[in-house]
A = this chain, B = another copy of it.
Amino acid sequence: MPPEKSTTKLRVRYSETDQMGTFYNSRALEWFEVGRTDWLRQAGIPYAEMEQRGTLLPLVEAHVEYHGRARYDDQLELVTTAAMAGKASMRFDVAITHVSGDRVASGYTLHAIVNAEGKPIRPPQWLNDAMA
């Protein structure tokens, strides 16, 4: 059974800030990746292993809503959930907050399920099992 949700903590790096003094907008997508990496590891299907088995999850769509600032060295919490979306795609939802609970950003990424040649495939049995 997959985790209902995974929780990840990270600190904002100086390299992730911009001259507005908060995190640069594209970092949210990099943090979303950290969230889904953790979710997949907890589900027993680390993404590095998925790729080695020839199943890749390239992005089809990404959506981010920005709720509040986050400064260098702030500790953030990522709560990630995942689900199959249709027959050959997966969706990860991530909510990023301060440890205080104050919201930073939230959104989702939608992923195709493809083989090593980039062709869309039905989810392999082990993926269906992990998601069941």
Contact = CB atoms under 8 A, between A and B. Distances in A.
Given A18-B14, A33-B15, A66 B72 contact: no
Given A48-B71, A63-B63, A33 B20 contact: no
Interface string A85-107: 00000000000000000000000
A78 B67 CA distance: 27
Contacts of A48: 71-73
A66 B73 contact: no
A54 interface: no
Interface residues of A, number: 40
Number of this chain's copies in the assembly equals 4
B14 A24 contact: yes
A42 to B, nearest CB: 13
A20 B73 contact: no
Contact of A61 (B13, B46, B47, B64): B64
Contact of A63 (B24, B62, B118): B62
